[in-house]
Structure 1
């Protein structure tokens, strides 16, 4: 009788042990399933690339602006710029702009204008700038126009070419012109706050890393 009773007890202990193991496996399985939804969460949508953001835009300007395509930040189709370009010379680009038919035109001219050998380069350049805007409005009435400020030069560059000290005066003139013509004025000066590493060796042009910063600044401003 005692032997039978011991056998019954051992059988009960074994059954309880198997039940406990089964409970642990169930809990483990449940624990795994709790983490599954997090694993299946969708990744956040990727930010659109800068070329796609500005795919219907054209940047019209001088060699400063030309850096956008030179450094492969934007396609050449989105940049109409070249060394020595002034507001007066840009009037010759109107037909090309019409062919491209952009929705948005960003104008960045002035670095060469203020060096023009006339009595008052700033006044002369602003007069040509007004003519340029007028031509764009006439030929591309649906295009949005934004004026970008002339970028600063380093102290060393200004020392070599003192006429660069009129950049501030010229930008103020551009601000007033934008208000008069009812076009957008974008002041790029915040980009240079605390940054002395963006200029190229000549102190006038810019390293490749400047251009994505400029486009991000413009894009964020226009949200």
Structure 2
């Protein structure tokens, strides 16, 4: 009887210990699962943020690429349009007078020699030969493009510049009264040229007084200050690549209704 009782007690003790151990294991498991749940939540949050950031970055890149494609297509369409235009025919009854920047029209074979009267380094007080040539040609339209060399020659004196330009306009109007005159603004120069010739810092002032002169004389002023981009310039920061000239011709033709 005593042996059975002891055996029964031992059995209950084993069961109790087993239940205790199982309880501990369950408690640890629940704790572990709880801790895992917190960690997983934080991890998912970080992953979602990272994915969101990645998506935003990708969307921004796609948007930029789409904008670039649109710009490239627009530029290509414009280039195709320019290629189709016969500028020699359009400017057959017009003459562009100017300096080396204008001289490039014939150097690049964009216009006929009869449509361009220009000379490297020429200044407003050195135009007797050019005026004589244009008088013989007697064109319907004259586009003037001077000033780049005159800024240096007048050393920032806009009053002297206007005086010389006005004298040229008067002479042309006197000798060619039926010819329409158009005056191009002076093209901007790039920073390296301003560093070399600081007087070009006053270029905008020259264009302003030139505009005022044209208003006074009731002559059309063609504002080209925003026409050229950095990629259009040669390395000297003053002259232009061949690809730029059709844009300039389009601007002049548009203003003059050619």
TM exceeding 0.5: yes
Aligned partners of 2:183 and 2:157: how far apart in 1?
A: 18
Are residues 1:114 and 2:114 paired? no
Equivalent in the alignment of 2:196: 160
Name the CA distance, whole Å, in 2 between partners of 1:73 and 1:47.
13
Q: Deviations over 1:93-150 (max 9, x none)?
A: 221111111110000000000001x565322121111000000000000000000001
Count of aligned pairs between the two proteins: 175
The aligned counterpart of 2:232 is 198
Tell me if 1:143 matches 2:212. Answer: no
Structure 2 Cα separation of the partners of residues 72 and 163 of structure 1: 32
In the TM superposition, residue 222 of structure 1 has moved relative to its aligned partner by 3.6
Matched with 2:215 is 179
Within 1, Cα distance between the matches of 2:180 and 2:128? 17
Deviations 1:167-218 (A, max 9, x none): 10001011001011111100012313xx210000100111111111100122
What is the alpha-carbon root mean square deviation over aligned residues? 1.7
Runs of 4 or more above 3 Å deviation = 118-121
Cα separation, 1, equivalents of 2:254 and 2:217:
23
SS in 1 for 2:183: strand
* Cα distance change of structure 1 residues 221 and 141 upon mapping to structure 2, 3 Å threshold: closer
User: Cα distance 1:62–1:54, how it changes in 2: closer, same or farther (>3 A)?
Assistant: same
CA distance in 2, matches of 1:61, 1:211: 14
Larger Rg: 2
Taking structure 1 as the reference length, the TM-score comes to: 0.74
**Aligned CA distance change for structure 1 residues 222 and 145 (closer, same or farther; 3 Å):** closer
- In structure 2, stretches of 5+ residues that fail to align are 1-82
Larger RCO (CA within 8 A; separation ≥ 6) = 1
Change (3 A) 1:100 1:184: same
Give me the whole-angstrom Cα distance separating, in 2, the residues matched to 1:53 and 1:62.
21
What is aligned with 1:74?
Answer: 111
199-208 or 119-128, larger mean C-alpha shift: 119-128
Corresponding position: 1:218 with 2:255: no
Q: Quote the offset at 1:221 in angstroms.
A: 3.4
Normalising by structure 2, what TM-score? 0.65
- In 1, the alpha carbon distance for the partners of 2:155 and 2:136 equals 35
- Is the deviation greater in 208-217 or in 140-149? 208-217
Partner SS for 1:205: coil
Among 83, 93, 97, the alignment partner of 1:56 is 93
Look up the match of 2:122: 85
Contact 1:56 1:78 in 2 (8 A): yes
Instruction: Show structure 1 runs of 5+ residues with no match.
Output: 1-45
> What's the offset of the Cα at 1:156?
1.3
* Higher fraction of helix: 2
What is the rounded CA distance, in whole Å, between the counterparts of 2:155 and 2:190 in structure 1? Answer: 25
